[in-house]
Structure 1
């Protein structure tokens, strides 16, 4: 879903929520436990969206409480996370939304990273309007009719154009190219982070105002603010190869895990566990909702989920 750099914060048992992008270079920083041979430690990369935090929260809880490892979490966005993983500065990425260039460089060419298997969750990015607005104006769900509603979707930040609300500029987004190539009378406006974007959408929904937003699933917010996807030109293999020429929808992406090659070979029970870690969209959303909406810590949310889903996670330990 999402790309660039976030300041690094190492916490042995704490998983912090991120609210924006930064400029730290993860290739020059490391957890004190990363790559520690035989020390019973694991370092997990955690990205800035709450679904990724849910994955890491549950993995960390089980690694610590069931397998006896000491777990460190490092906050870093996608592309720097690949660099850090390659160099052994983190041991695993639990949710990747598809980075073929990085996969080619590190998995196929350098062989410093290995695939860790599917997460069990399929991700999808798209454009959405609130369902209450779609019910009033059903034709807004076809991109060909968006210019008709540009005036209704104009904000102070978008100038004289309609607003297309994005989250962090670090996320995977084709939106500026899409707006230009589809000749839409819209301005992409970045909220700055997932948290800031959620705050804006919830405020719009509270006031029953229309909005158009870049958004993605799985995501817990759909339960609080029902949204309907706008149909963009159909995705076809290769239609997004040239970022400047993109004029198609985003693909549906089975989310993947990746492990540092040395860790995959020598990481013992921890590496085996992370390879087997696989859950459903419903599982992830359940934990995400507790973290983001109920304001629980990632570890408290993980414990609650673990306590109520033993048949799911015990298979990861076998």
Structure 2
């Protein structure tokens, strides 16, 4: 991927591009709202490049930040579909300016922030990240003790599938997600095999089908995630997380760490004075906000542009506080 250009567009071209994008990509009636006193509208923005990781919560963040950058700041926004690790590497090379939802990754922070000094932490998103093992609600009604990992082998036969090779199936989502599940199965001596659904959407469909048809299923899931308001998946208790218990990915035998999700920026971009850098640093919302936009994208089948416009139209008091100030 080539390093993006930092060419400065004139305000006329930027405004025209933003208007065309709004017409083509957004069915909402939203129009740019006049910013409150003190908010800057005159600083040139240029191009900002955002990583887009493969889960809809991340897409919701990108949708809203991208819309504001284009329509309120006059930026040209480039969005690059990348995995988590690809995003960090591209950011360090200067090919990406920001990652809008980072789940921990202490190893990557050590390399790119502490050692190479190519990246910086750029503020929290306001979202609380929870990863874990889950089963559909009907299984807890039928097998109340299944939420204790020490009882899983007793039920392993229930979870067998043609893909699990005689063991119980444990379902993961996108293969690019960084998970501990294979190590947990091995280190906790569970009679299960990790199988990949292939994507976030496939994982959601599997859990939805399991609840509707009362089919056994155990798998990886996380919050914030809009689907949990549709099906209240039940968390299986693994050995309690304590700091450092997951330091060695090969020997991890504890639950996942809870996260205060944050943003990561290319160091040069963060210090550039770009209004987009300030917008991204100020961007902070709730799990409910993110889930609302994610549901627009996933359930209502809106484009990211349309979903962002609808949410922004309803929440001006939230996002006006993110805009750069003089």
TM-score (norm 1): 0.88
Match among 269, 277, 300 for residue 263 of structure 1 = 269
Q: Superposed, which structure 2 residues align to 1:100-139 within 5 Å?
A: 100-139=106-145
Quick one: distance in 1 between partners of 2:60 and 2:69?
14
> Would you say the 8 A contact 1:35–1:90 is kept in 2?
no
1:85-116 CA-partner distances (Å, limit 9, x unpaired): 11110111001101112211221122111111
Contact 2:48 2:97 in 1 (8 A): yes
1:254 maps to 2:224: no
Question: Which residue does 1:47 correspond to in 2?
Answer: 53
User: Aligned partners of 1:202 and 1:298: how far apart in 2?
Assistant: 24
Partners of 1:211 and 1:115 lie apart in 2 by 37
Counterpart for residue 154 of structure 1: 160
Partner residue in 2 for 1:88: 94
Q: Distance in 1 between matches of 2:112 and 2:261?
A: 18
1:283 to 289, 297, 305: 289
CA distance in 2, matches of 1:195, 1:136: 26
Gaps of 5+ in 1: 1-28
TM-score, structure 2 as length reference: 0.86
Q: Which residue of structure 2 lines up, in the alignment, with residue 36 of structure 1?
A: 6
Once the two structures are superposed, residues 145-202 of structure 1 have per-residue CA deviations (whole angstroms, 9 ceiling, x without a partner) of: 1111111111121121111100122111111111111111111111111122222222
Q: How far apart in 2 are the matches of 1:204 and 1:255?
A: 29
Deviation of residue 65 (structure 1)?
1.0
Aligned residues: 288
Structure showing greater radius of gyration is 2
Structure 1 segments of 4 or more deviating over 6 A?
none
Q: Cα offset for 1:313? A: 0.4
- Quote the Cα distance in structure 2 between the aligned partners of 1:87 and 1:75: 16
Residue of structure 2 equivalent to 1:5: none
Three-state SS of the structure 1 residue aligned to 2:271 is helix
Counterpart in the other structure of 1:233: 239
1:30 shift after superposition: 3.3
Aligned partners of 1:211, 1:286: CA distance in 2, in Å? 26
| Counterpart among 204, 211, 220 of residue 217 in structure 2 | 211
CA distance in 2, matches of 1:156, 1:225: 26
- Alpha-carbon contact 2:53-2:81 (below 8 Å) kept: yes
* Mapping 1:160-171, distance limit 5 Å: 160-171=166-177
Q: Which residue of 303, 314, 319 corresponds with 1:313?
A: 319
The residue number in structure 2 matching 1:302 is: 308
**What per-residue deviation string (whole Å, max 9, x for no partner) do you get for residues 272-316 of structure 1?**
111000111111011111111111111111011000111110100
- Distance in 2 between residues matched to 1:176 and 1:100, nearest whole Å: 20
How far does the alpha carbon of each residue in 1:259-284 deviate from its partner, in whole angstroms, 9 at most, with x for none?
A: 11111122421111110001111110
Structure 2 regions of 5+ residues with no counterpart? 10-45
